[in-house]
């Protein structure tokens, strides 16, 4: 599994977020509260959904370490933010983009490969910026033929 190295442009998002850890993983709760309301976002750019994770500085992947997960859509502006939703901006940056095929149960294998094999053997290191999955037209929740892009923030090793 070889990634494509891309620059993600500065992008505005509107959606919902929750703070939790891998031990107390509540992504289903987050997405269940967001999906029925996503059409309230009036200035969405396209139909892609983004599952964004913002890790604390020096994230250690400890199962108890908390991070913030966002369920969002990209938007043209922040002129109207539905009640109970928040805005987020991801700054432009370098990313390794992996294509994940399979249902959510296979994601652990993909992330294990990314962080345990590819990243340590690459010319890059993890950068402290948001990582995310882009859920586009080929994404089918929990289907074996579902496809999504995994965007990992990177920088050249010094």
Would you kindly state where each structural domain of the chain is located, as residue ranges? 4-156
Q: How confident is the model at residue 138 (pLDDT cuts 50, 70, 90)?
A: confident
For 84-98, the pLDDT digits (tens) are 999 999 999 999 999
Provide the strand spans (E) within 33-146. 49-54, 67-75, 86-90, 93-101, 124-126, 131-135
**What are the tens digits of pLDDT across the range 12-46?**
999 999 999 989 989 899 999 999 999 999 999 99
Contacts of 14 (CB under 8 A, 6+ apart): 41, 43, 44, 72, 73, 75, 78, 81, 82, 85, 86, 87, 88
Task: For residue 127, name the pLDDT band (cuts at 50, 70, 90).
Answer: very high
The CATH homologous superfamily for domain 4-156 is Regulatory factor, effector binding domain (3.20.80.10)
pTM for the complete prediction? 0.90
């Amino acid at each position: 599994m070889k990634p494509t190295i891309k620059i993600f442009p500065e992008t505005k998002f509107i959606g919902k977020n929750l703070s939790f850890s891998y031990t107390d993983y509540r992504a289903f709760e987050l997405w269940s509260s967001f999906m029925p309301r996503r059409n309230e976002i009036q200035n969405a750019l396209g139909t892609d959904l983004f599952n964004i994770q913002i890790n604390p500085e020096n994230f250690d992947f400890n199962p108890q370490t908390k991070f913030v997960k966002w369920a969002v859509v990209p938007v043209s502006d922040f002129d109207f933010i539905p009640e109970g939703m928040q805005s987020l901006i991801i700054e432009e940056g370098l990313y390794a983009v992996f294509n994940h095929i399979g249902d959510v149960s296979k994601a652990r294998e993909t992330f294990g490969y990314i962080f345990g094999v590819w990243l340590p053997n690459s010319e890059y290191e993890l950068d402290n910026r948001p990582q995310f999955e882009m859920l586009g037209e080929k994404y089918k929740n929990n289907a074996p033929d579902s496809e999504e892009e995994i965007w990992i923030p990177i920088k050249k090793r010094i």
